[in-house]
A and B are shown apart, each in its own frame.
Chain A
Amino acid sequence: MALPAAAEARRLSLPRAQVDPIIILALATGVILTFLALYPTAMLFYGSVSDAPLGVRGRLTLVNYITAYADPATYRMIGTSFVFAAGASALSILLATTLAWITIRTDAPGRGLFELVALVPNVLPSLLISTSWALLLSPRIGLLNVVVMRNLGLPPFNVYSLPGMIFVEGLILTPLAFLFVAAALRSMDPSLEESARIAGSPTLQVARRITARLILPALLAAGMLNFVRAIESFDTPAILALPARIEVLTTKIFREALSAYPPNHNLAATYGMSLLAIALFFVYLYRRATAVTEQFSTITGRGYRPQVIALGSWRYPASAVALLILSLIVLLPFLMLLLTSVLPFYEVPSWGTLKLLTLKHYRFLLTSDRVHRAIRTSLTLAVSGATIGMILASVVAYLTVRTKIVGRGALEGLTFIPFAFPGTALAIGLLWGYVRFPLPIYATIWILLIAYLTRFLPYGLRAMTSTMVQVHRELEEASRTCGGGLAVTFRRILLPLLLPGFMAGWAILATIFMREFSTSLFLYTPRSEPIGPLLYHLWIDGQSGRMAALGVGVSLVSVVLVAAARRIVRTPLTREP
């Protein structure tokens, strides 16, 4: 087609613009992230300085901040939240690192099984784990407490306490930390360990002085994520804090705003903004810790297949330690779930209990249209959401870690803003953000997909960033030197090396999406009800057996998803470099 003369002249007179594809990629990513993160965040911020309910035009005011921070109880509550989150995060890192080292790096018997089992609680809704532990450690009917009291005469451990909350939340967070640490251990350069071993260092000293330091970025990433995740957690506090009358930030938000009559979204937004400030502070600390990325480069062109450490006579004790940790994070809660799923009502098991066993809750799963619809909805969200999320996370990780492009810090910061909000508060922002949107997103499965991507992108991003930091630039540079462009270098060099991180992130996102409840609860409609809200409604309807049976079913579906992700990862790892 002929161009108009003026346009043709302009085209010929101007030099061909050399726009770097990285800039186009960064701009497009920036627009998407800004829209995902800032739009609902702005709505929440507006709520915190508005004197009208969310969605209703009001005047600007600071009265919500005055109400929140003039109350001395607020400071006690924030202090309790910090103790809870820090304790739970530290416990999760300790357990995950021990378990991951035994499972990935040693020849302890059963380690293959341990690794698969360790992923099970990651696919269990936290609500179910909290409930299971309430039944295991309730002062009166807790199975463990009853056993300890009857056989040892010791006083019961009260799970309805701050130590109880830290214990349960720490166990819930361990599998996520395990995925991060295991991915790092699997991808690390073994030459440094070999050098230490040749120099005569014993195995434990190598683990402590070499391995631990090499996986420090992954530990920092996991610790930071778990701290923020704990401080925004509502599932465990909802089950354990309310009976203990312990107040943390999320229960305060729930109590004052989302469970109040009438609801006070403004105060929820105010406390949500406080959580955002806390999270941003920890992101800042994290970025400072990982500012010099080169020092953490542990995958080089020389080889990246870590060797298995022979423990000798310590093999079986190592397996016993792994089994103990797995019992706490998986076996005991899962057995309690199984038991609940075959009892008409939970009671402390006795010989008489055997007569009551029933499969009626599983029959309900097979016959209920509502259950089938929820599984279809959640599977659709998990597979499509995790795939879209990881592609976006890969691009963001590449831009923030591998390039020096202006504004890359802002890109990463954008993905962490929604992470800081409790699911419930963010859901309100999303609801109002999308309710008047020109496209039909509100009250469809799309709003759930957008909500999941917005809220959980940081999880995928951490997995990709941790892996990308470890891949040395020399491989990429070698490709470029040999004439490989951006696309070729990404496809043939970066992608195979990043695949373990990509699939680890995919597995994390898919399993979170399968069980997500606190955000979905506000956004779903009966037509698009995912599993999380269904589990919750079964619980509040007193159908704990059905909830447990569905929990068991969902876990099996999620294990299949994780196993599929691992199978894809295994291929490049087992290939000789």
Chain B
Amino acid sequence: MWFRRMVWAILGMILAVGVVPVAQAQADLIAAAKREGKVVVYGSLESDIFDVVAKIFEGKYRVQVEYFRAASNRVLDRVLTEVRAGKPGFDVVLTNKSPMGILKKEGAFGKYTSPSYEDYPAATYDRDGVLSPSYRIVVVSILYNTRLVKAEDAPKTLMELLAPKWKGKIVMPDPTQHTTTAVWLANLEKIMGRDWRPFIEGLAGQVGLVDSFIPAAQKIITGEFPLGITYVKYVHVFGKEGAPLDYVRLNPVLAEAHHVALGAKPVHPNAGKLFIDLFTSRLGLIALSREGEFVLVPGRYPPIKDADKLRIVMMDDLDDQELRRWRDEFGKFFLKR
């Protein structure tokens, strides 16, 4: 009996020393965030998808969320400008791995390890404690308009895009200005091997160029281009509204990681931390998943057919020097008239 009492006493002490302070710290964080009143987030996640998580956050904590949405290179530009000016207007930034890496190097972010990160594999942690683990990935493939291209006629591999029948019928973002497209093209080398260079040169002669992945998807939906290179998630995002979209199950298919980080000098530091806690929590990730995102929750897939069967290969990120080099390299092919 005395032994059992002692065990309970020890457990109680552990709880008192460990859990109670954690709970107290969380309560303090929530109270401080409420006093700050709002959090300002800059990111490249589509507004409608972001709003789903923002509404959960606002409903739960009564802290307002302001969101600046732009393409990843625009987020990079805006954050860099504000940081260099010494007047950052953001508390939290979320975008693709490569621009997040550049911003981290520029000192745009501060250290923050959210309690939510405990649910992620240790291998995904940022060794400097600045970036979150990769909470979601963006999968890039060939999407096509199902009214204009039958599934059996759609290309099965990237090399099939070079067939004469697709000349002028493919749309993709301009890799000289869209970072993720440049990273995607550069990473194809590791899965295409010797075919890579002829593929890049051939593709440049086949495609129409747009600013980013969303306009590419839009042009496929309207039929201006029957097919194109863009995110697989748009099959669900626009498909649920009736858009005639499907995607090619490439094997393997490349994906880029996304991260979130707290600003180095946030105006609302507590609200920023609280937002990151919820955004990267299971609750936030499942909400994102329902909207079509591929999230890092085991066994959880977006409502896209065959999403669970894809063999996904993660892209390596590029630093600013590499991005500049690739931009110039791709410009030789894609901007030549």
Chain A residues at the B interface, C-beta cutoff of 8 Å: 53-56, 135, 138, 140-141, 160, 238, 242-243, 245-247, 254-255, 258-263, 344-348, 356, 428, 431-432, 435-436, 442-443, 522, 525-527, 537, 539-544
Q: What are 29 A-B contacts with C-beta separation under 8 Å?
A: A55-B81, A140-B224, A141-B222, A246-B337, A254-B177, A260-B176, A261-B102, A261-B182, A262-B324, A263-B77, A344-B241, A344-B242, A344-B243, A345-B222, A345-B241, A345-B242, A346-B221, A356-B242, A432-B85, A435-B85, A443-B89, A522-B81, A525-B89, A526-B40, A526-B67, A540-B70, A540-B214, A542-B214, A542-B217
Contacting residue for A431 out of B70, B81, B217, B335, CB 8 A = B81
Interface residues in B165-221 by Cβ distance below 8 A to A read 174, 176-177, 179, 182, 208-212, 214-215, 217-218, 221
Give the residue name and chain of the A residue nearest to B69 (CB).
Answer: A537
Contacts of A138 in B (CB 8 A): 224
Could you tell me if A242 and B212 are in contact, using CB atoms closer than 8 angstroms?
no
Contacting residue for B222 out of A53, A245, A246, A346, CB 8 A = A346
In the complex the two chains form, what is the Cα distance from A539 to B214 in whole Å?
9
Given contacts A435-B85, A442-B87, contact A540 B211 (CB under 8 A): yes
In the complex the two chains form, what is the Cα distance from A347 to B219 in whole Å?
10
In the complex the two chains form, what is the Cα distance from A544 to B182 in whole Å?
26
Main secondary structure of the interface of A (DSSP, over half): loop
Quote the shortest CB–CB distance from B278 to chain A (angstroms): 19
B259 in the interface (beta carbon within 8 A) = no
In the complex the two chains form, what is the Cα distance from A348 to B147 in whole Å?
12
B66 in the interface (beta carbon within 8 A) = yes
In the complex the two chains form, what is the Cα distance from A165 to B215 in whole Å?
19
In the complex the two chains form, what is the Cα distance from A294 to B308 in whole Å?
79
Contacting residue for B68 out of A345, A442, A525, CB 8 A = A525
Could you tell me if B47 and A541 are in contact, using CB atoms closer than 8 angstroms?
yes
Contacts of A539 in B (CB 8 A): 215
Could you tell me if B71 and A435 are in contact, using CB atoms closer than 8 angstroms?
no
Given contacts A261-B76, A262-B102, contact A56 B323 (CB under 8 A): no
Contacts of B66 in A (CB 8 A): 526-527
Contacts of B62 in A (CB 8 A): none
In the complex the two chains form, what is the Cα distance from A346 to B238 in whole Å?
12
Given contacts A526-B66, A537-B47, 4 further A-B contacts (CB under 8 A): A140-B224, A141-B223, A345-B221, A435-B86
Given contacts A344-B242, A431-B85, A442-B87, contact A541 B222 (CB under 8 A): no
Give the residue name and chain of the B residue nearest to A263 (CB).
Answer: B77
In the complex the two chains form, what is the Cα distance from A435 to B68 in whole Å?
19
Quote the shortest CB–CB distance from B148 to chain A (angstroms): 9
Contacting residue for B87 out of A140, A261, A435, A543, CB 8 A = A435
B312 in the interface (beta carbon within 8 A) = no
Quote the shortest CB–CB distance from A58 to chain B (angstroms): 12
Could you tell me if B324 and A242 are in contact, using CB atoms closer than 8 angstroms?
no
Contacts of A544 in B (CB 8 A): 218
B99 in the interface (beta carbon within 8 A) = yes
Interface residues in B295-336 by Cβ distance below 8 A to A read 320, 323-324, 327, 335
Contacts of A356 in B (CB 8 A): 242
Could you tell me if B335 and A261 are in contact, using CB atoms closer than 8 angstroms?
no
B128 in the interface (beta carbon within 8 A) = no
Contacting residue for B214 out of A56, A245, A527, A541, CB 8 A = A541
Could you tell me if B243 and A345 are in contact, using CB atoms closer than 8 angstroms?
yes
In the complex the two chains form, what is the Cα distance from A242 to B237 in whole Å?
26
Given contacts A442-B87, A540-B71, A541-B47, contact A262 B320 (CB under 8 A): yes
B35 in the interface (beta carbon within 8 A) = no
In the complex the two chains form, what is the Cα distance from A140 to B214 in whole Å?
20
In the complex the two chains form, what is the Cα distance from A458 to B77 in whole Å?
29
Could you tell me if B48 and A541 are in contact, using CB atoms closer than 8 angstroms?
yes
Given contacts A258-B77, A345-B243, contact A242 B211 (CB under 8 A): yes
Quote the shortest CB–CB distance from A160 to chain B (angstroms): 8
Quote the shortest CB–CB distance from A331 to chain B (angstroms): 21
Contacting residue for B84 out of A56, A246, A261, A348, CB 8 A = A56
Contacts of A522 in B (CB 8 A): 78, 81
Could you tell me if A243 and B76 are in contact, using CB atoms closer than 8 angstroms?
no
Quote the shortest CB–CB distance from A43 to chain B (angstroms): 12
Chain B residues at the A interface, C-beta cutoff of 8 Å: 40, 46-48, 66-71, 73-74, 76-78, 80-81, 84-87, 89, 98-99, 102, 174, 176-177, 179, 182, 208-212, 214-215, 217-218, 221-225, 234, 237-238, 241-243, 320, 323-324, 327, 335, 337
In the complex the two chains form, what is the Cα distance from A160 to B182 in whole Å?
24
Given contacts A526-B66, A541-B214, A542-B217, contact A259 B238 (CB under 8 A): no
Quote the shortest CB–CB distance from A55 to chain B (angstroms): 5
Contacts of B209 in A (CB 8 A): 242-243, 245
In the complex the two chains form, what is the Cα distance from A54 to B47 in whole Å?
30
Contacting residue for A242 out of B40, B182, B210, CB 8 A = B210
Could you tell me if B210 and A243 are in contact, using CB atoms closer than 8 angstroms?
yes
Could you tell me if B320 and A141 are in contact, using CB atoms closer than 8 angstroms?
no
In the complex the two chains form, what is the Cα distance from A562 to B47 in whole Å?
33
Give the residue name and chain of the B residue nearest to A254 (CB).
Answer: B177
Could you tell me if A263 and B174 are in contact, using CB atoms closer than 8 angstroms?
no
In the complex the two chains form, what is the Cα distance from A152 to B324 in whole Å?
48
Could you tell me if A347 and B223 are in contact, using CB atoms closer than 8 angstroms?
yes
Contacts of B98 in A (CB 8 A): 261
Given contacts A262-B76, A431-B81, contact A141 B46 (CB under 8 A): no
Most buried by A among B66, B237, B320: B66
Could you tell me if B46 and A140 are in contact, using CB atoms closer than 8 angstroms?
no
In the complex the two chains form, what is the Cα distance from A435 to B66 in whole Å?
21
Give the residue name and chain of the A residue nearest to B66 (CB).
Answer: A526
Most buried by A among B81, B174, B243, B337: B81
Contacts of B211 in A (CB 8 A): 238, 242, 259, 540
Could you tell me if A537 and B70 are in contact, using CB atoms closer than 8 angstroms?
yes
In the complex the two chains form, what is the Cα distance from A261 to B85 in whole Å?
18
Contacts of A246 in B (CB 8 A): 337
In the complex the two chains form, what is the Cα distance from A69 to B183 in whole Å?
29
Could you tell me if A55 and B223 are in contact, using CB atoms closer than 8 angstroms?
no
Given contacts A242-B174, A262-B102, contact A542 B47 (CB under 8 A): no
Quote the shortest CB–CB distance from A243 to chain B (angstroms): 5
Could you tell me if A245 and B337 are in contact, using CB atoms closer than 8 angstroms?
yes
Give the residue name and chain of the A residue nearest to B78 (CB).
Answer: A522
In the complex the two chains form, what is the Cα distance from A452 to B120 in whole Å?
48
Contacts of A344 in B (CB 8 A): 241-243
In the complex the two chains form, what is the Cα distance from A1 to B50 in whole Å?
66
Contacts of B80 in A (CB 8 A): 53, 262-263
Contacts of B327 in A (CB 8 A): 260-261
Contacts of B225 in A (CB 8 A): 140
In the complex the two chains form, what is the Cα distance from A348 to B209 in whole Å?
22
In the complex the two chains form, what is the Cα distance from A431 to B238 in whole Å?
36
Contacts of A160 in B (CB 8 A): 208
Could you tell me if B69 and A261 are in contact, using CB atoms closer than 8 angstroms?
no
In the complex the two chains form, what is the Cα distance from A442 to B82 in whole Å?
10
Quote the shortest CB–CB distance from A495 to chain B (angstroms): 42
In the complex the two chains form, what is the Cα distance from A259 to B210 in whole Å?
13
Contacts of A135 in B (CB 8 A): 222
Contacts of B78 in A (CB 8 A): 522
Contacts of B179 in A (CB 8 A): 261
Quote the shortest CB–CB distance from B40 to chain A (angstroms): 6
Given contacts A261-B327, A525-B68, contact A245 B335 (CB under 8 A): yes
Could you tell me if B99 and A261 are in contact, using CB atoms closer than 8 angstroms?
yes
Enumerate the 7 nearest inter-chain pairs by beta-carbon distance, A residue then B residue, closest first. A526-B66, A259-B177, A435-B85, A542-B214, A243-B208, A263-B77, A261-B323
Quote the shortest CB–CB distance from B58 to chain A (angstroms): 11
Quote the shortest CB–CB distance from A435 to chain B (angstroms): 4
Most buried by A among B80, B87, B177, B221: B177
In the complex the two chains form, what is the Cα distance from A442 to B69 in whole Å?
19
Quote the shortest CB–CB distance from B237 to chain A (angstroms): 8
